[in-house]
Structure 1
Amino acid sequence: MKIALIGCGAVTQAVYVPLLSRRRELFEVSAVCDLSPTLAGAVADRLGAAGRFTDVGEMLAAGGFDAVLVLASGSHGETVRQALDAGYAVLCEKPLSLTRAEAAALPPDGRLMVGYMKQYDPAVLRAEALLDGVRIRSVEVTVLHPSGEAQLAFANLVQARDADLTQVRKAEAALLDAALGADAPESLRNLYNVTLGSICHDLSLLRRFTGSPERIDHVAAWGEAPGSIEISGTLPGDSGRFAIRWHYLEDYPAYRETVAIHHDQGTLELAFPSPYLMNAPTVLTVVAPGEARTEWREVTEAFETQLLAFHAFVTTGETPRTGRDGALEDIVTAQRIAARYAVQHGLPLGGEAREL
């Protein structure tokens, strides 16, 4: 399958380039696009791509590929819309967009898969099977998040400063205005960005395990941005509760994310390593009746499994784990989180979040 890449930054270089290089029997990268000519050239050289672009519209018009991977940072709504309108299948890294309006503007019949790689982690798939039919009492998440530089120090990334990001930053600011209102303070914007940029992975797991939260009861944030964030609320059907605690700890030794699921018959705990470490296993610990304790791990890479799922989606029509509707659920939840925080702290709130 011939593909094109949009965005040649950290996740592309550290994750997608190695994976696409070792799955050349399935994927041929025909073109790459980045605002930085240096990054576009570096990634194209590593993957043997002939097409090198700094403008998305020009690359889509030139064609020569079947599908597009949207891997740039920030909101992807407009880029995804252009690619779908041009008839390409799309794998889009999370978040799909910063606003509900962007998601609603996408063609309903477009072939879109949204990338939440943790949903394709073998440990997550096993946990889903073990949870089938049990009554979940609570889900408790803790994320310890070092700096991106610390997590990627091993990757030897190509750095470049030859891209003009002025218009990109203006567009992102306008989208945040649309989501939260023009008067939303920086504390609210930071909360929303962290929720859609990182905590959305945990929201996507909640969607798989229990369904999206029914109610957001409490939101707290403290420390210098991005700081620490705490979110709690009710699971669907008032069947249980969830709590998410996310901490940015710049000098913490290593990324760690734990998801503990307590149910009437025991506990499942998932311990995720840094997402940038290829084939590092997620550890699933199962505590069953009688205090039997079992650990399970597998080195199959979640990002690679996700790529294989995208290949199956495009070639055979296999349904992805998250499409537009699932991604939109996460955007709605993020806006409900922002709205709850604004109400609790008496902050001005407008835009889409005010409507929830």
Structure 2
Amino acid sequence: MRIALVGCGAVTQAVYVPLLSRRRDLFEVVAVCDLSRTLADAVGDRLGATSRHTSVEDMLAEGGFEAVVVLNSGSHGETVRRALEGGYAVLCEKPLALTRAEVAALPEGRLMVGYMKQYDPAVRRAEELLAELGGPGAIRSVDVTVLHPSGASQLAFANLQQAHDVDADLLASLRAAETELVSRALGESAPESVRALYGVSLGSICHDLSLLRRFTGSPREISYVETWGEQLGSVEISGPLPVRGRFSVRWHYLEDYPAYRETVAIHHDKGTLELVFPAPYLMNAPTTLTVVSGGESRTEWRDVTEAFEVQLAAFHAYVNEGKQPLTDVAGALEDIVTAQRIAARYAVQHDLPIGGESA
């Protein structure tokens, strides 16, 4: 399948370039696009893509591919809209957008939203075991803890190509447009603390929201939100699950922490299913599933199959065989709505202004 890549930054270089290089049986990258010509050329050279662009509009107009993989930072809504209008299938990294309005404006088309942890073999095994236990009705609680070191430390191994050739005025205009989108989501008067919380919810905690969707369904209510530490160092979120039990998420940005670590513990009537995720940028590093059952029996389960690679294969199957993805437009919209509920609950608790879609 001939594909085009939009965005040639950290995730593309560290994850997608090596995976697409070894999955040439499924994909041929024929076009790349980035605001930086330096990055477009670097990724194009590594993948053998001769068509290189600094404008999405120009790339889509030239064509020559069947699908678009959207990997750039910020909101993806406008890029996805243009690609779908052009008749292309789209794999879009999370989050799909920053506002509900952007999602509502998307035309019909083939769209898959990438939450690679949903495709992790340990997560799929946990889903199977939970189904055997009775599904969401057997859950007492889901407890999540994320220890998040700096992005630079997580990607130090990757020797990333840096961009220094993007016009400063263009960057400023893009940042202003993104600020306006966040204002539509939260209201013009939303303070920086609420905006930062929304950014973390859509940029990182959304992975955990996507797992809740798989295990229990999205939470319909957010009961409590608190933040503490410098520059939003820690976040705590809790509320009821849609069928039974409660969830809690504790997210900590720890710049100098030795390594990324994410733990998701599903406590049910007969024991616990515990998932421990490694740093997401380390290819084929296994997630550990620990099954705790009667008599304090503990069984560990691992599979080195790379979740990002499974996700790419799922996109290929979606486009060519019609196999439905784990997250479509509706699922991505649920995560945006939950992130807005998180922001709104925090604002209400602290008597801060909230408006826009979140109101």
> TM-score interval w.r.t. the shorter chain?
over 0.9
Question: Map of 1:190-201 to 2, 5 A cutoff?
Answer: 190-201=196-207
Match of 1:289 in 2: 294
Match of 2:149 in 1: 146
1:9 aligns with 2:14: no
Q: Structure 1, residues 162-209: CA drift from partner, whole Å, max 9, x if none?
A: 113122101100001100011111100000000000000000000000
Inter-partner Cα distance in structure 2 for 1:294 and 1:168: 49
Q: Structure 1, residues 299-324: CA drift from partner, whole Å, max 9, x if none?
A: 00000000000000010010000000
Match of 1:204 in 2: 210
Match of 1:136 in 2: 139
TM normalised by structure 2 equals: 0.97
Match of 2:52 in 1: 52
Paired letter, 2:237: I
Match of 1:353 in 2: 358
Match of 2:94 in 1: 94
Inter-partner Cα distance in structure 1 for 2:248 and 2:100: 24
1:163 aligns with 2:166: yes
Question: Map of 1:213-292 to 2, 5 A cutoff?
Answer: 213-237=219-243, 239-292=244-297
Q: Secondary structure at the match of 1:49?
A: coil
Inter-partner Cα distance in structure 2 for 1:216 and 1:140: 14
1:110 aligns with 2:109: yes
For structure 2, list consecutive stretches of 5 or more residues without a partner in the other structure: none
1:339 aligns with 2:340: no
Match of 1:123 in 2: 122
Deviation at 1:78, TM superposition (A): 0.6
Paired letter, 1:168: L
Paired letter, 1:39: L
Deviation at 1:227, TM superposition (A): 1.1
Q: Structure 1, residues 139-166: CA drift from partner, whole Å, max 9, x if none?
A: 0000000000000000000001211312
Inter-partner Cα distance in structure 2 for 1:46 and 1:246: 35
Which 10-residue stretch deviates more, 281-290 or 161-170?
161-170
Question: Among the aligned pairs, what percent are the same residue?
Answer: 76
Inter-partner Cα distance in structure 1 for 2:231 and 2:91: 30
Q: Secondary structure at the match of 1:29?
A: strand
Inter-partner Cα distance in structure 2 for 1:269 and 1:231: 19
Q: Secondary structure at the match of 2:305?
A: coil
Inter-partner Cα distance in structure 2 for 1:83 and 1:225: 36
Q: Secondary structure at the match of 1:236?
A: coil
| Root-mean-square deviation over aligned CA pairs | 0.6
1:18 aligns with 2:18: yes
Q: How many residues align?
A: 352
Deviation at 1:45, TM superposition (A): 0.4
Q: Secondary structure at the match of 2:318?
A: helix
Q: Secondary structure at the match of 1:215?
A: coil
Inter-partner Cα distance in structure 1 for 2:238 and 2:164: 40
For structure 1, list consecutive stretches of 5 or more residues without a partner in the other structure: none
Structure 1 stretches of 4+ moved >4 Å:
none
Paired letter, 1:351: G
Inter-partner Cα distance in structure 1 for 2:338 and 2:211: 13
Paired letter, 1:148: G
